[in-house]
Amino acid sequence: MGLSWKQKVFLALLGTAVALGLTALILVLVEAVNILLPADTKFGIVFDAGSSHTSLFVYRWPVDKENGTGVVSQALACQVEGPGISSYASDPVQAGESLRGCLEEALALIPEAQHRGTPMFLGATAGMRLLSQKNSSQAEDIFAAVTRVLAGSPVDFQGAKLLHGQDEGAFGWITINYVLGLLIKYSFSGEWTRPLEGTLVGALDLGGASTQIAFVPGGPILDTSTQATFHLYGSNYSVYTYSYLCFGRDQMLSRLLAGLVQSPSASLVRHPCYHSGYRTTLPLASLYESPCVYSAAPQNLTQNLTVEGTGDPGACVMAIRELFNCSSAQDVGDCAFDRVYQPPLWGQFYAFSNFYYTFYFLNLTSRQSLGTANATVWNFCKEPWKLVEASYPGQERWLRDYCACGLYILTLLTEGYGFSEETWPSIEFRKQAGGTDIGWTLGYMLNLTGMIPAEAPAQWRAESYSVWAAGVVFLVLTLVSVLGAAAVQFFWPQD
pLDDT tens digits, one per residue of 135-144: 999 999 999 9
Domain range enclosing 22: 5-38+457-491
The answer as to whether 33 is a domain residue is yes
- Is the Cβ–Cβ distance between 449 and 70 less than 8 Å? yes
pLDDT at 245 over 70: yes
Q: What is the pLDDT of residues 7-37, one digit of tens each?
A: 555 555 556 655 555 555 554 444 443 333 3
Q: Which long-range contacts (CB under 8 A, 24 or more apart) does 92-95 make?
A: 92/138, 92/141, 92/142, 92/144, 92/145, 93/145, 94/145, 95/142, 95/145, 95/146
- Among candidate residues 376, 331, 338, 336, the one with its CA nearest the CA of residue 358: 376
pLDDT bucket at 461, cuts 50 / 70 / 90:
very low
The reported pLDDT for the residue numbered 485 is 55
Asked if residue 476 belongs to a domain, the reply is yes
Which of 434, 412, 484, 463 minimizes the C-alpha distance to 180? 434
Q: Would you say residue 67 lies in a domain?
A: no
Q: Per-residue pLDDT for 474 more than 90?
A: no
Active site residues per annotation: 168
Beta bridge partners of 46: 57, 121
Is residue 471 assigned to a domain? yes
So what's the pLDDT on residue 331? 44
Kind of pairing, strands 41-49 and 54-62?
antiparallel
In a domain, 483, yes or no: yes
Whole-angstrom Cα distance, residue 151 to residue 248? 31
Question: Helix, strand or coil for residue 197?
Answer: coil
Which stretches of 51-178 are assigned E, i.e. beta strand? 54-62, 73-79, 119-124, 156-162
SS3 label, residue 465: helix
Q: Say if 411 falls within a structural domain.
A: no
Percent of the chain with pLDDT over 90: 60
CA distances from 46 to 14, 77, 345 (A): 58, 10, 31
On whether residue 29 sits in a domain, the answer given is: yes
Number of domains within the chain: 1
- Name, in order, each residue with C-beta under 8 angstroms of 419's C-beta and a sequence gap of 6 or more: 345, 370, 413, 426, 427
pLDDT for 420 beyond 70: yes
pLDDT at 450 over 90: no
**pLDDT-based confidence at 168, cuts 50/70/90?**
very high
Cβ neighbours of 493 (radius 10 Å): 7
SS3 assignment, position 111: coil
**Does any domain span residue 469?**
yes
pLDDT at res. 383: 98
- pLDDT tens-digit readout, 308-365: 999 999 999 999 999 987 654 444 446 678 889 999 999 999 999 999 999 999 999 9
* Whether the Cβ atoms of residue 49 and residue 87 lie closer than 8 Å to each other: no
d(CA 173, CA 431): 14
At 298, the pLDDT band (50, 70, 90 cuts) reads: low
Task: Give me the pLDDT at residue 478, please.
Answer: 55
